[in-house]
Chain A
Amino acid sequence: MRRSRLLWPVLGMPAIAWMAVFFLIPLYVVLCVAFGKVDPVFRSAIPVWNPLEWSFTQLAIVVDRLVGPDNFYLPPVLRTIAYVVIAVAACLLIAFPVAWFTARHAGSHKALVLTLLVAPFWISYMMRMLAWVNLLQNDGWVNKVISLNGLLPTEQAWLSGRPTTVILGLIYGYVPYMILPLFAALDRISPSLLEAARDLGAGGFDVFRRVILPMSIPGVAAGMLLVCLPMMGDYFTNDLLSGSPGTSMIGNLINNSITTPGQSGQAAALLLIVLVVLSVPMIWYTRSTARSEVRS
């Protein structure tokens, strides 16, 4: 029995060591840079390894750029919130009927519909964006269709800094992540429950509002989180579909700081602020997943 007790730690050790070295240490390094010092001459970041000596210099710089007199970080942050709220709402509006249809009405086509819904997961995000870059070019198919192949003079420059294009790109990119958890939640609702609601006198809308909707809440919450978190750090959708600073988001701020020499301190501080804000839903999700794992 003793040998068996030793077996599990031995099997788990490589991965635990791996996670400690390549997951926890990197996150700690981010903290050390975010709470580190600034080189007085080059203004570049100097990480401070001892937590007792951490300072708030980098955070102060970022906070100053957020709410100070020269707040050039603020517009991208507000823009991100607006874009994400619109995109998440749109994802929900698209995903609900699609997931409901697949779970309830697809009948013998269910497997096929499900396969097609999963397909975007196997197509790289970059390829899906590339597809839209092709379609939205000035001489692309979208302009051809809306100008009736050149009859109407309505050529639009879709790819030069339009918020609509970026928001549509975000919706297109992330809506599959909303549909699947929603489908999983809706598929679990037993048909007899809906029958019971109807038998007890509920009309179509009542059934939706008082049975389907409450029971879909876990799926809706998981979907919103899965869609929302990556959008918060997304910079590539913007870079590919707009490329203009007029539509840049938090992800672009972070990415630009990373790729600009000497700005990594600000990148770390920005990332830290985003992580702290996002940690509330992240921890909630982790805990609720752990709970449902225990329950099953």
Chain B
Amino acid sequence: MSGPITVTDEANSLSHVHSAPDNAPRKSYTLATITFIYLLWSLVPVAIAVLFSFNSGRSRSVWQGFSLRWYIWDPEGSVLHNESLRSAVVHTLVLGVITTAIVVPLGVLFALALDRWRGRVPSGASFAVLLSFVVPEIALAIGLLFMITWLATPFELGTTAQVIGLITFQLSYPVVIVRARLLTIGTHYEEAARDLGASPLGAVRRVLLPMLYPAIFVSAILVFADVLDNFVLVRYLSANAASETTSMKIYNTARAAPTPALNAIATLILLASFAVVILGYLAYRKWGRGQGEEGTGLGSMAAM
């Protein structure tokens, strides 16, 4: 922190005291303009890409009228009728569901253990979680790829390998979020339950776990939305066209004169992601009220 600001002119400081209302944040049009332009620059290109998924022609830059041609009508190129496009969307969603279903329980138990269990093993594991947070995704992806290539693992590249990689990569989300919540809960509810005769497991299951539901819910949303967007891991751990996800499809065909159907699958995944996040936000607001942790989801996301 900087050194104290020296008082050079007492009169000057007094004059500031007298103009107290001036201290309220003043309107800053320059900053507002910069922010506005930034938001336009950040979001309008994506909005245009979404718009062109509804183009009735083949072009992705000349608007030829609104149509659902690239979603359902086109007999060959639409998401509905093109096997590889449809499978990319379905596979992305399948990966999201399976990964979330496994990683959230795994991470919640892990967070409970790390928070309450003292010793070398948990502190080492705690460090490993933080490490998995910062180790570049490409390192984990290549490591798993090599492991599957050179070690006699009971699974092959493809969906299984992708799910394993995603679980490993996503595990830190529920751990970090649930631990943050555990810190604010403290141990006294659990102790009270124990005093009233609950078994250790019973205290966790019937007292602690219900208090953790909002945090668990938020981490499930974050994991699901993040898996939909994953690219590096799923690409290295994929096997063939059947394990191609939407982001891989974009990578593979964006520069090869694609049709607006590519925009359409990207839009579908975008909608899935937004739907889950909005649903989560609404449920969280309803649920989390009164638990004194408004904005924890956003806060923990910002802290990442």
Contact = CB atoms under 8 A, between A and B. Distances in A.
A and B part of one assembly: yes
A101 B36 CA distance: 10
Contact of B140 (A23, A118, A180, A282): A23
Contacts of B112: 8, 11-12
Interface stretch (B40-48, B67-75, B76-84): B40-48
Contacts of A97: 30-31, 34-35
Contacts of A18: 106, 167-168, 171
Given A14-B106, A94-B38, A211-B2, A123 B273 contact: yes
Given A8-B117, A141-B61, A15 B143 contact: no
Interface string A33-59: 100000000000001000000000000
B7 to A, nearest CB: 5
B34 to A, nearest CB: 5
A268 B269 CA distance: 33
B16 interface: yes
Nearest to B222: A121
B139 A116 contact: no
Nearest to B7: A200
Interface stretch (A65-73, A77-85, A129-137): A129-137
A122 B277 contact: yes
Given A22-B167, A184-B302, A210-B2, A271 B139 contact: yes
A8 B204 CA distance: 10
Interface string B213-225: 0000000000001
Nearest to B236: A258
Contacts of A105: 25-28, 31-32
A4 interface: yes
Contacts of A126: 229, 231, 246-247, 250-251, 254, 266
B39 A113 contact: yes
Interface string A229-242: 11011001001100
A163 interface: no
Contact of A240 (B7, B251, B301): B251
B127 interface: yes
Given A26-B144, A26-B147, A176 B25 contact: no
Tier of interface size on chain B: 35 or more
Interface residues of A, number: 108
A16 B110 contact: yes
Which of A26, A102, A117, A211 has the largest count of B CB atoms less than 10 A from its CB?
A: A26
A181 B142 CA distance: 29
B138 interface: yes
A120 B226 CA distance: 12
A126 to B, nearest CB: 4
B247 A125 contact: yes
B239 to A, nearest CB: 14
A116 B40 CA distance: 10
Given A123-B229, A127-B270, A195-B23, 19 more contacts: A15-B113, A19-B168, A19-B171, A29-B147, A29-B151, A98-B35, A104-B25, A105-B25, A124-B247, A125-B231, A126-B231, A128-B45, A134-B45, A183-B302, A200-B13, A233-B139, A236-B231, A258-B145, A286-B131
